[in-house]
Amino acid sequence: MDLRLRGITHFYGDLEVLRDVDFGVEAGQIVCLIGPSGCGKSTLLRLLGGLERPAHGEILQLGAPPAGSLNPLTYVFQDFALLPWRTAAGNVSLVLEDHPLSRRERSEIVADVLARTKLSEFAQVLPRQLSGGMKQRVAIARALAVRPACLLMDEPLSALDSQTRELLLDDLVELWLRERFTACYVTHNLAEAVRLGHKVVVLSRRPGRIREIVEIDMPLEQRKHALAELQEQQSRLWELMREEAMAADRELADV
Amino acid sequence: MSDEALAERGAAGAAAPVARPVPFRGGGFAPRPMRLVGLVLFLVLLGLWELGSRTGWIGPLVLPAPTAVFEAFRQLVVSGQIWLHLGASLQRLLLGWFGGTLLGLLVGLAAGLFSMARAGVVPLVAALFPIPKIALLPLFIIWFGIGEESKVATILFGTFFPTVIAVYGGVDNVDRNLIRMGQSFGLSWLSIVRKIVLPGALPAILSGFRISAAIAIILLVAAEMIGAEYGIGAYILLAGNLMATDQLIAGVAILSMLGLAVSWLLGRAERYFLRWR
C-alpha cells in the first residue's frame, strides 16, 4: 500500500502551518521528513494517520493494505505513549483486545513481537522500570503487533540520550532489513534522516512547503560503514535547511 | 597593590597552599520517617493529662481523666451499646457515601467526557458545592422525615459534589497523548474510556474519596445530633446533655478511630490500585 499526499494545506485558526505539500510514500520505503522546528512536520504526520483533517487537499491510500493488517496506519510516538499501569506485554495486548482474536492468538502475537524487539524477558515489567530506549522498543513492538502497512514515526528517538539513540537506530535498520516495513519518519536530526531515509523530504519554515526531496540511493545496510559519504549528504541537507532554521529561530512565538 | 605585596603572594603561592575542606552546605529540608516519636508524644500528653486530673489541677467535670474516659468506653463495650451506636452510624455512613460516590462518579465522568454535560454540570456544581450541607438538613427533614432517609440524604448530597469535582478534574488530567494513541490504534470509544481514561483518572478519584469520606463523617455526626436514637453523634449529644464528659470524650475518641480506620482503608486501596506509580 502506498500513500499519496496531494496539495495539503492546513491551518490552525488563522495560522497557516502547511502549504501545498505533495509527496508519496511507496511501499517498503522509509521517507524521512525534516524541517526547522515549528514547520508542521508533526502536523503532517497527524494528517497522514487521520488524527486530523487537512483544510485543503487529500491524502490517499493507493492499493489495499496487506491482508491481516489490523491497523494499516500505525504511530510510534516521541513520548512512547505507554500506559503506565500496564506491563510491557499488557501495553502490546491493549491494541489487540478490540480485534476478534482468541486469547491464545493474542498472547502468541504479543510473545512474537516482544521477541522480535528483543524484549521477551521484560514482558511482565512496568514502564516505569524501563529505560527510555526500552520504552520505545515496547512502543515499536506494540506498533508491529497490529501488522501495519505504514509506520508513522514522530521523532521516535528524540526523547532518548545519544547513546541509546545510536543503539536503537541500528535496531531500526536491522528491523527494516528483516521486515522491509514502510514508514514515514519525522525527525529534526539529519544524521537519523540520512541513515534511515530512502527519500528525505525537506520542509521550509512555517508555513511548511516542500523545499526539496532528496533521494538517497545507498542501501541501508551499507550506510553504517559509509559515514563519509553520508556526511556529504547530511551537509547538503543542512545547507538546504540552514537559513530556514535560522529564520525560524528568530521568529516570535506569538501564536 | 605594591610590588612587595605581589612578591609576597608569589612566594606564598610557591609554598604549599593551605588545604581546607570544602564547607558542607547541603542537608536538611528532607524529613525522614520516625515512627516512635508520634506514639511517645501521644503517651506523654496522655500522661500529663492523667497527672493533671489526679492532682485536681483539671476539674473532672471540665475534662475527665483518660482512665475515666477509658472506663466509659469499656462500659460502652461491655453493655454492648457500642455496637448499636456504631452499627447505626456505619450504616448511614456507608449508604450515604456509596450513594453519593456512585452518583458523583457517573456525573463526574459525564462532565469529563461530554461537552454538553460539562456545560450543564460544572456551573451547577460550582453554585451548590459551597453550600454547607448542614444548612440543608432541616429541608431534608421536611422532605424525607426525621428518620434515616434525611440523614443518608445529607451525607449523599455532601459527598456527591466533591466526587464530581474530583472525577472530572481527574478525567481532564488524563494524558491526551495516551488518548490519541488509543484512537490511532483504532480502539473503540468504550475501550478508551475503560482502559485509558478511568485508570488515568484513578489517582485523582482516590484522593477525592479521601475528601468525601472526611465530609461524610462530619455530616454523619451533624445529622445524628438532630433526632437520632442511636449513632455516635447521638451518643455524644446525650452525654453532653447529661454533663457526662467521660462518655462524651469516649464518643469523640471513637470518631477519631473511625476516621483513622477510613483513612487506613483508603491508603490500602491506593497502594493496591496505584502500585504502577
Query: Domain limits of chain B?
Result: 95-273
CB contact under 8 A, A79 and B191: no
- Listed in sequence order, the residues at least 6 apart from B167 whose beta carbon sits closer than 8 Å to its beta carbon are B104, B105, B107, B108, B109, B111, B112, B201, B204, B205, B208
Do strands A2-12 and A15-25 pair parallel, antiparallel, or not at all (unpaired)? antiparallel
Residue of B nearest to A94 (CA): B195
CA distance A92 to chain B (A): 11
Q: In whole angstroms, what separates CA B100 from the centre of its chain?
A: 16
**Residue A85 forms contact with B (CB below 8 Å):** yes
- A136 closest CA partner among A193, A191, A175: A175
Interface A:B, Cβ pairs < 8 A: 46
CB contact under 8 A, B177 and A49: no
**B177 interaction partners in chain A (CB closer than 8 Å):** 77, 79, 81
**B107-143 pLDDT, tens per residue?**
999 999 999 999 999 999 999 999 998 889 999 999 9
Query: Which of B174, B178, B183, B185 to mutate: most A Cβ within 10 Å?
Result: B185
* Mean pLDDT computed over B13-17: 71
CB contact under 8 A, A83 and B195: yes
Give residue B14's pLDDT band: very low, low, confident or very high (50, 70, 90). low
Q: Is the pLDDT of residue B105 over 90?
A: yes
CB contact under 8 A, A81 and B181: yes
Greater pLDDT, A84 or A226: A84
Residue A153 DSSP class: E
pLDDT for residue B6? 53
* Mean pLDDT computed over A194-218: 90
Asked whether the beta carbons of B164 and B108 are under 8 A apart, the reply is yes
CB contact under 8 A, B188 and A98: yes
Q: Is the pLDDT of residue B270 over 80?
A: yes
Rounded Cα distance between A211 and A192, Å, is 19
Rounded Cα distance between B230 and B242, Å, is 16
Highest mean pLDDT pick, A229-238, A241-250, B180-189: B180-189
Give residue B8's pLDDT band: very low, low, confident or very high (50, 70, 90). low
CATH superfamily, domain at B95-273: MetI-like (1.10.3720.10)
Average pLDDT for chain A:
90
pLDDT for residue B2? 53
Asked whether the beta carbons of B104 and B163 are under 8 A apart, the reply is yes
CB contact under 8 A, A49 and B186: no
Rounded Cα distance between A3 and A201, Å, is 14
Specify which residues A210 forms β-bridges with.
Answer: A203
Q: Is the pLDDT of residue B5 over 70?
A: no
CA distances, B167 to each of A83, B185, B186, B203, B228 (Å): 19, 26, 25, 10, 33
CB contact under 8 A, B195 and A126: no
* Mean pLDDT computed over A242-250: 82
Share of residues in chain B with pLDDT > 70 (%): 95
Residue B63 DSSP class: S
Closest residue to B184, CB basis, from A75, A79, A97: A75
Specify which residues A186 forms β-bridges with.
Answer: A33, A154
Asked whether the beta carbons of A39 and A205 are under 8 A apart, the reply is yes
Asked whether the beta carbons of A65 and A35 are under 8 A apart, the reply is no
Q: Is the pLDDT of residue B95 over 80?
A: yes
Asked whether the beta carbons of A118 and A105 are under 8 A apart, the reply is no
**A136-161 pLDDT, tens per residue?**
999 999 999 999 999 999 999 998 99
Q: Is the pLDDT of residue A252 over 90?
A: no
**ipTM of the predicted structure?**
0.88
CA distance A78 to chain B (A): 10
Residue of A nearest to B181 (CA): A81
Greater pLDDT, A100 or A205: A100
Q: Is the pLDDT of residue B243 over 80?
A: yes
Closest residue to A85, CB basis, from B183, B191, B276: B276
Please report, as a single letter, which amino acid is at residue A167.
L
Share of residues in chain A with pLDDT > 70 (%): 99
Residue of A nearest to B191 (CA): A98
pLDDT for residue A109? 95
Asked whether the beta carbons of A1 and A64 are under 8 A apart, the reply is yes
**A83 interaction partners in chain B (CB closer than 8 Å):** 178, 195-196, 199
pLDDT for residue A225? 84
Give residue B53's pLDDT band: very low, low, confident or very high (50, 70, 90). very high
**A208-222 pLDDT, tens per residue?**
889 889 999 899 888
Residue of A nearest to B174 (CA): A83
pLDDT for residue A249? 80
Residue of B nearest to A126 (CA): B276
Rounded Cα distance between A90 and A110, Å, is 9
Rg (alpha carbons) of chain A, rounded to whole number:
18
* Mean pLDDT computed over A73-89: 95
Residue of A nearest to B194 (CA): A94
| A52 phi and psi angles, rounded to 5 deg | -140, 160
pLDDT for residue A253? 63
**A36-47 pLDDT, tens per residue?**
887 888 899 999
Closest residue to A71, CB basis, from B186, B196, B277: B186
pLDDT for residue A32? 95
pLDDT for residue B207? 93
**A5-46 pLDDT, tens per residue?**
999 999 998 889 999 999 999 999 999 999 888 788 889 999
CA distance A239 to chain B (A): 34
CA distance B188 to chain A (A): 7
CA distance B206 to chain A (A): 15
Q: Is the pLDDT of residue B216 over 70?
A: yes
Domains of chain A (ranges, CATH numbers): 2-65+151-250 (3.40.50.300), 82-148 (no CATH)
Instruction: Name the grid cell of B20.
Output: 581546607
